[in-house]
């Protein structure tokens, strides 16, 4: 709900109380956006719901409310329609005043949260020596956008990369490293073993075929746990090489993250198990320590346990998450913890959240949220793969998007007979290519799977990054063409709304605060994408219908101001999606 709606709601409540008494202080006036612009902007449906209670016809009730309702500073005189709807239409002068006010504000009139909080967003989180795959790409893009929006709302946001940098697989990797690159372990140099994913595959092969290798690997795990220096050194080398590979992706995507991997919590794991034991929740099942879960059963219909310590003494993914949770609540003082992973992990999160709640570890003022997302599909509707059936390397995926954007710009320049510098073309290609990938992901409701299509995401038409970027460029073009300095439009500048297209654009511009509030709550960035897409669309309609540079004053300046406010809104909105704008493209 935006500020205008809140005011209207308040005034409606006051009218209800004035008409029917203090019993109605908490009655919801049921204020909703009008279903059709010809009925105005909002409608209050409370009269219909009170009919039984008051024993009157809704139209009569609506009349009594309206007779006490004073919205003369915001709306045209209210109208009663149909069975008893109260229709409210915003006054043009009210809209103009709102726009003139936000237009000079760097936050475009969007207030910061009334209760700023420490919030943690746990996202990206790839695994060392394994492929960073499209699932991690989604987590990275969605998590980054959510972090930006929460920060803009005024929260103190900690962006954590819960890297998978610990576990038994390191025994095998280190054993293999000693076997094939013994020299790497004795020099101080960084490791260069080429493709880590390939390395992982080969290590796994050795592990599977050789019993001696398996035993050595197990001993390496024990040595790693015990902190043996040479084993730790090898572990660090492996992590470092992975980290460098991940960083290439983060740099391309302009992502900032603080790495706090699973290994960070390793020393805390025994305490987690002890603390669980102290709550009496811990049970032994075939030598493993576990907590039985409500609402989860195995195939035989028996209660399902969450294992926190295996028979061999080792710990699980969930144990680490329980430790991390404790740390984040107690040390980081987080009040909201958001986990961005594919929906395949939904059970994992429900389960360890449940265990933490049962153990009474979650204070009432702490909120845990799993933000799940669907799969990335190829254009054939199956899991996204390369033509030869391999998983797509993220590096290749992003490069391909940039290369295609580059081909597009070269084509466009040729068609227009324009020439531009190499630097210009490359910058446009990089911004457009990366934005297209991000936007294609963010514009989908994240809970559904989405089809990855370079052609669609790079198209200048439709709900795409290039379409939005182009609307922004168009506005900058107006300023270049008319030699306009948007920051200096004269002292008497005023937004004045006459044409329908101006009013439609104006009303949309005033809805950004509502959209951002929604995303702050439900963490669905696609709502912001929808908003920006509609904004571009409404701007384009305005621009087709209302001449800007060629119109007379005062309309000319007013329209330039609408252009500028649209550009500022696009720029802000896109920045919250992690997308940069271009002045020309």
Structural contact between residues 433 and 405, judged by C-beta atoms closer than 8 angstroms:
yes
Phi-psi region of 280 (alpha: psi -120 to 50; beta: other; left: phi over 0): left
To ligand ARG, the closest distance from the beta carbon of 267 in angstroms equals 17
| Nearer to ligand ARG (CB atom), residue 241 or residue 569 | 241
Which strand (E) or helix (H) includes residue 23? none
Nearer to ligand ARG, 136 or 289 (CB): 136
The distance of closest approach from Cβ of residue 32 to ligand ARG in the complex, given in angstroms and rounded to an integer, is 38
Question: Is 266 one of the binding residues for ligand ARG (CB under 6 A)?
Answer: no
The residue within the footprint of ligand ARG, chosen from 321, 408, 502, 564 (CB under 6 A), is 321
Q: What is the DSSP code string of 472-505? A: HHHHHHHHHHTT--TT---TT------SHHHHHH
From 122-130, 250-258, 393-401, 420-428, give the range in contact with ligand ARG by CB under 6 A: 122-130
β-pair partners for 339: 122, 370
* Nearest approach, Cβ of residue 276 and ligand ARG (Å): 18
Smallest gap from residue 122 Cβ to ligand ARG (A): 5
Query: Taking CB under 6 A as the rule, does residue 260 contact ligand ARG?
Result: no
Sheet holding 42-44, edge to edge: 31-33, 42-44, 85-88, 79-81
Instruction: Report 338-357 residues binding ligand ARG (CB under 6 A).
Output: 339, 341
Question: In angstroms, what is the minimal distance from the CB of 320 to ligand ARG?
Answer: 8
Decide if residue 138 touches ligand ARG (CB under 6 A): no
Give yes or no for residue 264 binding ligand ARG (CB under 6 A): no
Contact 476, 583 (CB under 8 A): yes
Interface residue with ligand ARG, options 45, 127, 241, 316 (CB under 6 A): 127
| CB neighbour list of residue 148: distance below 8 Å, 6 or more residues apart | 575, 576, 577, 578
Residue 170 as a binder of ligand ARG (CB under 6 A): the answer is no
Nearest alpha carbon to residue 507 among 34, 149, 45: 34
Q: How far is the CB of 339 from ligand ARG (least distance, A)?
A: 5
Q: Looking at 43, 45, 125, 526, which residue binds ligand ARG (CB under 6 A)?
A: 125
- Region binding ligand ARG by CB under 6 A among candidate stretches 54-62, 124-132, 437-445, 574-582: 124-132
- Closest CB to ligand ARG among 370 and 404? 370
Rounded to the nearest 5 degrees, what angle is found at the Cα of 425, between the Cα atoms of 423 and 426? 65
Cβ atoms within 10 Å, residue 411: 10
Per rule CB under 6 A, count of chain residues that contact ligand ARG: 10
Shortest approach of ligand ARG to residue 142 CB, angstroms?
13
- Name which of 122 and 220 has its Cβ closer to ligand ARG: 122
Residue with tokens 């909120």: 367
CB within 8 Å of 551: residues ≥ 6 apart: 559
User: 43 - beta bridge partners?
Assistant: 32, 87
Residue with Cβ nearer ligand ARG (384 or 531): 384
**Do strands 85-88 and 42-44 pair parallel, antiparallel, or not at all (unpaired)?**
antiparallel
Site string (87-116) toward ligand ARG, x via CB under 6 A: ------------------------------
Is residue 122 part of the contact set for ligand ARG (CB under 6 A)?
yes
Nearer to ligand ARG, 348 or 493 (CB): 348
Q: Which residues pair with 33 in a beta bridge?
A: 42
For the CB of residue 483, give the shortest distance to ligand ARG in the complex, in Å.
52
Based on the number of CB atoms within 10 Å of its own CB, is 534 exposed (0-12), middle (13-18) or buried (19 or more)?
Answer: middle
Q: Which is nearer to ligand ARG, 270 or 372 (CB)?
A: 372
Site stretch for ligand ARG (CB under 6 A), options 38-46, 118-126, 179-187, 202-210: 118-126
Smallest separation, CB 400 to ligand ARG (Å): 23
CB of 322 to ligand ARG, least distance (A): 10
Judged by CB under 6 A, the stretch of 119-127, 394-402, 413-421, 447-455 that binds ligand ARG is 119-127
Please give the helix or strand (H or E) that residue 449 lies within, else none: none
Q: How far is the CB of 177 from ligand ARG (least distance, A)?
A: 21
CB of 126 to ligand ARG, least distance (A): 6
Q: Does 526 bind ligand ARG (CB under 6 A)?
A: no
Nearer to ligand ARG, 2 or 351 (CB): 351
Cα separation, 224 vs 168, in Å, equals: 9
Contacts of 533 by beta carbon, 8 Å cutoff, 6+ apart:
443, 463, 467, 468
Peptide bond before 509: cis, by omega within 30 degrees of 0? no
Regarding 464 and contact with ligand ARG (CB under 6 A), the answer is no
Q: Which residue is nearest to ligand ARG (CB)?
A: 125
Q: Which is nearer to ligand ARG, 117 or 127 (CB)?
A: 127
Q: How many C-beta atoms surround the C-beta of residue 61 within 10 A?
A: 25
> Encoding tokens for residue 26?
């908490």
Q: Which residues, listed in sequence order, are joined to residue 129 by a DSSP beta bridge?
A: none
**Nearest partner of 235 among 318, 187, 180, 167, judged by Cα:** 167
Least distance (Å) from ligand ARG to the CB of residue 156? 20
Long-range contacts of 99-104 (CB under 8 A, 24+ apart): 99/495, 99/506, 99/509, 99/510, 99/561, 99/562, 99/565, 100/494, 100/495, 102/509, 102/510, 102/565, 103/495, 103/561, 103/564, 103/565, 103/568
Residues 176 and 203 sit within 8 Å (Cβ to Cβ) = yes
| Site track for ligand ARG across 143-162, x = CB under 6 A | -------------------x
* Closest distance to ligand ARG from the beta carbon of 239 (Å): 13
Among 84, 164, 326, 525, binds ligand ARG (CB under 6 A): 164
Instruction: Name the site residues for ligand ARG (rule: CB under 6 A).
Output: 122, 125-127, 162, 164, 321, 324, 339, 341
């Amino acid at each position: 709900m935006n500020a205008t709606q809140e005011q209207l709601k308040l005034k409606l409540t006051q009218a209800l109380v004035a008409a029917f008494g203090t019993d109605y202080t908490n009655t919801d006036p049921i204020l909703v956006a009008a279903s059709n612009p010809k009925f105005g902007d909002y409608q209050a449906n409370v009269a219909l719901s009170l009919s039984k209670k008051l024993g009157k016809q809704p139209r009569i009730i609506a009349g009594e409310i309206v007779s006490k309702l004073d919205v003369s500073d915001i709306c045209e005189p209210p109208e009663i329609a149909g069975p008893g709807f109260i229709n409210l239409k915003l006054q043009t002068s009210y809209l103009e005043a709102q726009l003139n006010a936000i237009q000079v504000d760097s936050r475009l009139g969007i207030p910061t949260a009334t209760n700023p909080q420490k919030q943690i967003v746990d996202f990206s989180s790839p695994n060392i020596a394994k492929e960073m795959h499209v699932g991690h790409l989604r987590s990275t893009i969605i998590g980054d956008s959510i972090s930006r929006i929460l920060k803009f709302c005024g929260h103190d946001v900690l962006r954590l990369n819960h890297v998978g940098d610990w576990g038994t697989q390191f025994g095998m990797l280190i054993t293999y490293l000693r076997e094939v690159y013994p020299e790497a372990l004795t020099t101080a140099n960084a490791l260069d073993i080429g493709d880590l994913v390939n390395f992982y595959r080969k290590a796994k092969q050795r592990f599977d075929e050789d019993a001696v290798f398996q035993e050595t690997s197990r001993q390496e795990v024990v040595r790693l746990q015990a902190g043996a220096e040479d084993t730790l050194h090898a572990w660090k080398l492996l992590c470092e090489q992975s980290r460098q590979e991940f960083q290439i992706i983060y740099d391309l995507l302009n992502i900032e993250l603080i790495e706090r991997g699973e290994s960070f919590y390793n020393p805390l794991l025994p305490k987690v198990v002890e603390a669980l034991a102290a709550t009496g929740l811990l049970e032994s099942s075939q030598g493993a320590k576990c907590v039985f879960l409500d609402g989860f059963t195995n195939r035989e219909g028996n209660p399902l346990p969450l294992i926190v310590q295996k028979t061999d003494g080792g710990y699980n993914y969930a144990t680490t998450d329980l430790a991390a949770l404790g740390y984040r609540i107690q040390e980081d003082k987080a009040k909201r913890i958001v986990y961005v992973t594919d929906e395949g992990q939904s059970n994992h999160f429900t389960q360890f959240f449940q265990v933490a709640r049962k153990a009474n570890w979650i204070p009432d003022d702490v909120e845990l949220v799993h933000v799940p997302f669907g799969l990335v599909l190829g254009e054939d509707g199956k899991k996204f793969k390369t033509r030869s059936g391999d998983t797509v390397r993220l590096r290749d995926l992003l490069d391909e998007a940039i290369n295609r954007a580059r081909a597009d710009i070269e084509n466009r320049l040729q068609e227009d007979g324009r020439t531009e510098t190499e630097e210009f073309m490359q910058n446009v290609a990089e911004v457009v290519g990366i934005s297209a990938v991000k936007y294609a992901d963010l514009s989908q409701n994240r809970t559904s799977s989405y089809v990855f299509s370079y052609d669609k995401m790079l198209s200048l038409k439709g709900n795409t990054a290039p379409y939005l970027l182009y609307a922004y460029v168009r506005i900058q073009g107006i300023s270049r063409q008319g030699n306009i300095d948007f920051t200096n439009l004269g002292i008497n500048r005023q937004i004045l709304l006459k044409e329908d297209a101006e009013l439609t654009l104006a009303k949309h511009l005033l809805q950004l605060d509502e959209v951002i509030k929604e995303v702050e709550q439900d963490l669905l960035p696609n709502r912001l994408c929808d908003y920006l897409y509609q904004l571009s669309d409404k701007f384009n309609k305005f621009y087709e219908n209302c001449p800007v540079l060629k119109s007379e004053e005062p309309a000319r300046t007013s329209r330039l101001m609408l252009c500028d406010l649209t550009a500022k809104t696009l720029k802000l909105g896109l920045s919250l999606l992690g997308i940069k704008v271009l002045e020309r493209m």
